Amino acid sequence: MAVAADLITLSEYEWKPVELVDEDAVFIAKELSSKLMIMRGVGDDRFWVNPNQHVGIVALPSGARLESYPKVPVRNLFYMLAVAIDYPKPFREELAEFERLEHLLEFVAEFFADLVEDRIRNGLYRAYVEREENLPFVRGRIDLYRDVRQNYLLRHRTFCRHAELTWDIPENQLIRQAAYMLTGWEFRPQLRTRLSSIDATLHEVTPTAYPASVVNRVQYHRLNEDYREVHRLCQLFLEGASLSEELGTFGFRTFLLDMNLLFEMFVTRVLEARAPTGGALQGQVGMHLDYGRRVAIRPDFLVRAGGRVLAAADCKYKRILSDEYKNHDIYQVLAYCLAAGTDRGLLIYPRHIVDIDDRIQVLNTAVEIRRLSVDLGKDWDELELECEAIAQKVFGWTAAEAGRVAA
């Protein structure tokens, strides 16, 4: 029988033989099947585990700890995360001290607490929500059909519909869910106290178990636009702790960061910060490929200028093992271009997975798809220059397209 190891270390996208007790193997196979792959070894008691694109920490049922490390240095992972969440402080000195994964979640949780406390001080966003209640008095509009059915013999009550101005809305429910979830981690006492205080302050907000995908469905406008940043963190936490996205179940001691999501957020923020005058990026734009609006698509971002879409883009943090995968990426971006009405498509990869800079002209169309890569393994000074270089390539290329169309 296998003996539980105290620490199991993995590397993204790599299979590794590990010693697991049965309860840990079952937990990985059942609860983490959407993130990690596991299979029984042949001829011994070991299991083979592959974390795919996920990095982070899992506390297994036996008490063992599983850590999955990225291909890039851990300090660069913090750099990417700081850029992705728009961390406002000069983070170079602070991140220089971070070399281990256990600092990762605490780093983001502290920033989350800062944002939420500011939001609470400035006043939480409230919205009108329609309620349906069987009341002893009339409030709002009487629902005659429901009233007759439910109160035929109970005329001392009236079934009403009314609008109530409340904090108990998804914008705030997401924040409370994330705060409550984070209180289950063994952070420093001061941070745990802050998170518990946030949870207590939001006691009027209904506890929820939203999956991370709910964040993409929030409609932002001038009254709740300042929630976008904190919701980005909520999405990271919920994605990292989710055991079952469909059922909305979470593990307090699980945080696996999806490098696909982080890479997308990182590239988007890098380009947003360097967009030329008159240009802008629009992230996670929901569109449809067909006139019947049955085929939903969502590019990672669109490059815009003067009200026009100059390019539709997708960020791909994954191994490219065959031409089939490359072709699939191209087909996907081509669909984005057609739906967005642009002749420029963009694919961006991390260079440690693929080193590429080429252009593909699609037959019988004016669509050109460019593939670029970003080197995430460089030292910080060079990484800044790498970000500048990718921005120059993207905006120089799209500016040329804008000039061609204007001519």
pLDDT of residue 390: 92
pLDDT in tens, the chain (407 residues): 444 568 889 998 899 999 888 888 888 888 888 889 999 877 777 899 999 989 988 888 888 888 998 888 888 888 888 888 887 765 555 655 666 777 778 888 888 999 999 999 988 888 887 777 787 777 767 776 677 776 766 667 878 886 778 888 889 999 999 998 888 887 889 999 999 999 999 988 888 888 888 888 888 888 888 888 899 888 888 888 766 555 445 555 778 888 888 899 899 999 988 888 877 888 878 888 889 899 888 998 898 887 788 999 999 987 655 455 568 889 999 999 998 999 999 999 998 777 788 898 999 999 999 999 999 888 877 888 999 999 999 998 887 665 554 44
246-253: long-range contacts (C-beta < 8 A, 24 or more apart)?
246/211, 248/209, 248/210, 248/211, 249/209, 250/181, 250/209, 251/31, 251/58, 251/59, 252/181, 252/184, 252/185, 253/57, 253/58, 253/59, 253/184, 253/185
Can you give the length of the chain in residues? 407
CB 237 within 8 A of CB 111: no
CB 372 within 8 A of CB 357: yes
Provide the CATH number for the domain formed by 274-406 in this structure.
3.90.1570
* Residue 277, strand partner residues: none
Extract the tokens encoding 5: 């190891």
- Residue spans per domain, the chain: 7-69, 74-124+173-253, 127-166, 274-406
pLDDT of residue 140: 65
* Nearest to 330, CA basis, from 310, 314, 350: 314
